[in-house]
Chain A
Amino acid sequence: MTMAEAASPPERTVIPGPFTGLFGRIGWAWLGVLPFFAFCLMFLVAPVLYLVKGAFQNPAGEYTLDNLLALASPNIVAAFSLSIRLSLVSAGIGAIAGLLLAYAVILGGLPRWVRPAFMTFSGVASNFAGIPLAFAFIATLGRLGLATVVLRDVFGINLYGVGFNLFSFWGLAVTYLYFQLPLMLLIITPAIDGLKGEWREAAEILGANRRQYWRMVALPVLTPSVLGCFLLLFANAFGTLATVYALTGSRFAVVPIVLFQQIQGNVLYNPNLGYAIAFGMVLIMAVSNTLYLVLRARAERWQK
């Protein structure tokens, strides 16, 4: 049991452990975190590093950049382009709509029960992704979906007649919004709450009207948070697989689907190209998440 291991090392030992140079006076205390590091190494770091290393090797094990260059092949470029466009659109709409919703719910002067209702629902909806979400949208906006039928029969609007299709780019974007919008509401709320009422009062008594306050104070203060949240939504959409798969099978070739098929072994024959695709995905996720953390740190600096 880990707890017993953690309890066993003597308390204030100064016997130098093997990592004395790196860990200084820590001594044997590092033994207590060994299980965690072993776990992370085996099931998190090593698998990813294995792929990254593979991305720079050919099947014979020689180092090469061919795999990364092969990412430039038309179908892979198309997949990345499609993924990035879909993620940008769903994150953009999610961020703007979420910001508006957060404003309405938090500062909009609505009855007090509205905010907790939306927050609780968002906590659930932001976790309601994957296959059941796809089913729900098929029942809503599919060819026989409730909204499609009601719009056609009651309002005379034929969605599929005007070019809409649930199993297309915009159909996916609308579906993604179902978890993007609540996620945006949840993560932007602290920033909106961070807008102090006194800033508005200070601006007001200094002669500013509402628009001047929003233009000169509130929006500049919110901007890093909004951009940060946008990047998080982008990463969130970029990694989404199950929803697309359940809606469109393998027809809609976003990057995760391409990789999924590659792993199932029915499209590409070169595993090292698969490694390169995985590397590309991790890179995009890493960049957007890092920028999110940087922007969030910048925004929190103001919230003191």
Chain B
Amino acid sequence: MNFLRIAAVSKSFGANHVVKEFNLDIDKGEFISFLGPSGCGKTTVLRMVAGFETPSAGRIVLNGEDITALPSRQRNIGMVFQAYALFPNMNVFDNVAFGLKVAGQPKAEIAARVSEMLKLIHLEHLADRYPYQMSGGQQQRVALARALAPRPQVLLLDEPLSALDAKIRVSLREEIRHIQRQLGITTIFVTHDQEEALSISDRIVVMNGGRADQIGVPADIYNRPATRFVASFVGTLNMIEATVLDQSGTVKIGETVVSLPEPIVHRQQGETVSLALRPEAGSLTGDLRGDTALPGKVLSTHFLGSVIRTKLDVAGHQVSFDTFNGPETRLPAAGEPATLRFAARDLLVLQD
């Protein structure tokens, strides 16, 4: 049986349907990310799990108990907010102790649990500090400890890293994942940053317009995006239009005939189909990787350090490809013709 089940949940604010028929089953101990642009409904789903919003339809079941209508203070769920939301009038110790205090636990037990939590986030030495005396990264770690102290069944993280500096963001996300594994706590992590989601999740839910477009492990989301939206939102993608020659998977890109690895079922012969290719899947250096070659013309090249990004015109589409930078790398200059080589199996056929 699933630990947390979100069943056909919808939410409307007036005429505005923010979440539509959202379904998700989460196993105990799983780390799930909700990924999507702002306004896609990911935070609303999280807030319904937390109990801050009541679903317009559908049910939320936690550990066999229907919690759809339960007030959030009775749900035993931990939550970390984007802007830390530490209580400004309390020091670190009192912030972490808050959940235990309102639950009426004995003093000695509270002290022991708080110091255990502070050890977990490596901030034992800051127990007397007030929030305004700490950096954003430290505050967010305290917020994590505060959420975990009452031993919640589920941990909700609402864009916890987006207010932090780039470097701290990376180190804190690793720390969050480490602590999550250590405690084995079921976690939902909301983010709009695809790199964050890809790097720490067991599974990712890509959301768009109030629906889950795709649910899968990070590698599948990246390598086999189900929709054009997922493909374009997760990583950079080159879109190429092709004409279907026959439904077994033969298409024509410009003047070149290409055999796709899978049959095309959703398009008739003669219709146009959208194909996608990752920037790292093509080669311009002629190292013969792949079985397909398309003629093109270089528009511009951009030196990005470890890679060089080349923009080219291929069959009327503007596409860009990355080449690893090395002492031997020779790339055609802007205005020169170039041959783009790639494996036909790397082409993604988009469903819409």
C-alpha gap A265/B75 in the complex (Å)? 74
C-alpha gap A301/B50 in the complex (Å)? 29
Residue of B nearest to A221 (CB): B89
A204 within 8 A of B: yes
- Whether the pair B83, A302 counts as a contact (CB closer than 8 A) is no
Residue of B nearest to A299 (CB): B88
- Whether the pair A208, B73 counts as a contact (CB closer than 8 A) is yes
When the two chains form the complex, which single residue of A202, A220, A221 contacts B81, counting CB atoms closer than 8 Å? A202
- A contact residues around B77 at 8 Å (CB): 205
- A contact residues around B99 at 8 Å (CB): 206-207
Q: A205-B50, A205-B73, A206-B150 are in contact. Are A196 and B85 (CB under 8 A)?
A: yes
Among A198, A203, A220, which residue has the most Cβ atoms of chain B within 10 A?
Answer: A198
Q: A216-B98, A301-B132, A304-B132 are in contact. Are A204 and B72 (CB under 8 A)?
A: yes
- Whether the pair A205, B102 counts as a contact (CB closer than 8 A) is no
- Whether the pair B98, A198 counts as a contact (CB closer than 8 A) is no
- Whether the pair B51, A199 counts as a contact (CB closer than 8 A) is no
- B contact residues around A207 at 8 Å (CB): 73-74, 76, 99, 102-103, 150
Q: A196-B83, A304-B132 are in contact. Are A221 and B88 (CB under 8 A)?
A: yes
- Whether the pair B87, A202 counts as a contact (CB closer than 8 A) is yes
C-alpha gap A220/B88 in the complex (Å)? 9
Q: A201-B52, A207-B150, A302-B88 are in contact. Are A212 and B102 (CB under 8 A)?
A: yes
Residue of B nearest to A195 (CB): B88
Residue of B nearest to A222 (CB): B89
When the two chains form the complex, which single residue of B52, B71, B73, B87 contacts A199, counting CB atoms closer than 8 Å? B87
Query: C-beta contact mask, B80-108 vs A, less than 8 Å → 1, else 0?
Result: 01010111111000000011011100000
When the two chains form the complex, which single residue of B75, B88, B89 contacts A205, counting CB atoms closer than 8 Å? B75
When the two chains form the complex, which single residue of A206, A209, A220 contacts B89, counting CB atoms closer than 8 Å? A220
Query: C-beta contact mask, A19-51 vs B, less than 8 Å → 1, else 0?
Result: 000000000000000000000000000000000
C-alpha gap A301/B130 in the complex (Å)? 11
C-alpha gap A217/B90 in the complex (Å)? 8
B141 within 8 A of A: no
Interface size on A, residues (CB 8 A): 20
Q: Considering the complex, which residues of chain A in the window 137-170 have a beta carbon less than 8 Å from any beta carbon of chain B?
A: none
- Whether the pair B81, A198 counts as a contact (CB closer than 8 A) is yes
B79 within 8 A of A: yes
When the two chains form the complex, which single residue of A201, A209, A302 contacts B79, counting CB atoms closer than 8 Å? A201
C-alpha gap A221/B102 in the complex (Å)? 18
- Whether the pair B78, A199 counts as a contact (CB closer than 8 A) is no
- Whether the pair B75, A206 counts as a contact (CB closer than 8 A) is no
Q: Say how far A179's CB is from chain B's closest CB, in angstroms.
A: 31
When the two chains form the complex, which single residue of B83, B98, B103, B147 contacts A203, counting CB atoms closer than 8 Å? B98
B146 within 8 A of A: yes
C-alpha gap A198/B147 in the complex (Å)? 13
- Whether the pair B50, A202 counts as a contact (CB closer than 8 A) is no
- Whether the pair A202, B85 counts as a contact (CB closer than 8 A) is yes
C-alpha gap A226/B146 in the complex (Å)? 28
- A contact residues around B103 at 8 Å (CB): 207
When the two chains form the complex, which single residue of B71, B79, B132 contacts A202, counting CB atoms closer than 8 Å? B79
Residue of A nearest to B99 (CB): A206
Q: A199-B85, A199-B87, A221-B88 are in contact. Are A205 and B78 (CB under 8 A)?
A: yes
Q: Say how far B82's CB is from chain A's closest CB, in angstroms.
A: 8
- A contact residues around B102 at 8 Å (CB): 203, 206-209, 212, 216
C-alpha gap A302/B91 in the complex (Å)? 12
Q: A202-B79, A205-B78, A220-B89 are in contact. Are A302 and B73 (CB under 8 A)?
A: no
Q: Say how far A236's CB is from chain B's closest CB, in angstroms.
A: 27
Q: Say how far A5's CB is from chain B's closest CB, in angstroms.
A: 43
- Whether the pair B146, A198 counts as a contact (CB closer than 8 A) is no
Q: Say how far B337's CB is from chain A's closest CB, in angstroms.
A: 57
C-alpha gap A60/B24 in the complex (Å)? 92
C-alpha gap A202/B51 in the complex (Å)? 11
Query: C-beta contact mask, A165-180 vs B, less than 8 Å → 1, else 0?
Result: 0000000000000000
Among B76, B85, B86, B101, which residue has the most Cβ atoms of chain A within 10 A?
Answer: B85
Residue of B nearest to A213 (CB): B102
What are 5 sample pairs from A and B whose C-beta atoms fall under 8 A apart?
A201-B81, A204-B71, A205-B52, A206-B99, A206-B150
Instruction: Beyond A204-B52, A207-B73, list 12 extra A-B contacts (CB 8 Å).
Output: A201-B79, A202-B81, A203-B98, A205-B78, A206-B102, A207-B99, A207-B150, A208-B73, A208-B102, A209-B102, A221-B89, A301-B132
Q: CB within 8 Å of B: which residues of A? A: 196, 198-199, 201-209, 212, 216-217, 220-221, 301-302, 304
**Shortest Cβ-Cβ A-B pairs, 4 listed:** A198-B85, A206-B99, A302-B88, A220-B89
